[in-house]
Amino acid sequence: MKQIITYKIRHAEVSEADQLTALAIRSQGSWGYPQAWMDLWRERLTITPEIIKNSISLVAEYEGVIRGFWCRSFENNAEKPTRGFLFVEPDFIRKGCGKQLFQAMKEELVKRNITSFNIIAEPNALSFYLRMGGEKILEIESPTPIRMLPVIRFDLAKNKK
């Protein structure tokens, strides 16, 4: 039976950048990618204090430990897809962490009058984003390594989940 946990959702602190980077690397690595690919992606998986400062950055805590996070741009530009920073500890995938982060981020975006956005998604997370009300609108080629990445559109006015 699937275990759903209630997480404490809060804004990330700049001092947590290294902790979030380590979580992102663990999460991305859980998909079984070759180490060579993970090495190529290390810079793209790095969460800097500037990313936290210059975005809506939320963390999900359980038992006082960060189990997931999402950093999302303040931009209200649905035509320009942005790279996603939604990562969940591997042991907490399918336990409500991503969904609760999505709901909290949606509330933040609506408060800021952001009505829609596009993200470039991890292919293995496509089904999650579709369950959250997203629509796959196209695929783009990733520069390193060569693979196709889905672009997901969210219309927050329609998405009532």
Task: Summarize pLDDT for 126-152 with one digit per residue, the tens.
Answer: 999 999 999 999 999 987 777 899 999
Q: What's the CATH code of the domain at 42?
A: 3.40.630.30
Give residue 2's pLDDT: 66
Give domain status of residue 23, yes or no: yes
Give domain status of residue 64, yes or no: yes
Query: What does the pLDDT look like over 71-106, one tens digit per residue?
Result: 988 766 556 666 668 999 999 999 999 999 999 999
Query: What does the pLDDT look like over 1-52, one tens digit per residue?
Result: 567 799 999 999 999 999 999 999 999 999 999 999 999 999 999 999 999 9
Give domain status of residue 29, yes or no: yes
Give domain status of residue 125, yes or no: no
What residue numbers bound the domain in which 29 lies? 8-120
**Dihedral over Cα of 49, 51, 56, 57: its sign:** negative
When divided into structural domains, the chain yields a total of 1
Query: Where do runs of H (alpha helix) occur along 10-117?
Result: 17-29, 35-41, 49-53, 97-111
Arithmetic mean of pLDDT over the chain: 90
Give domain status of residue 134, yes or no: no
Q: Are strands 116-120 and 82-83 parallel, antiparallel or unpaired?
A: parallel
C-alpha angle with apex 153: 152 to 157, nearest 5 degrees? Answer: 150
Give domain status of residue 159, yes or no: no
Query: What does the pLDDT look like over 97-134, one tens digit per residue?
Result: 999 999 999 999 989 888 888 898 999 999 999 999 99
For the chain, give the longest Cα–Cα distance: 41
Give domain status of residue 51, yes or no: yes
Give domain status of residue 128, yes or no: no
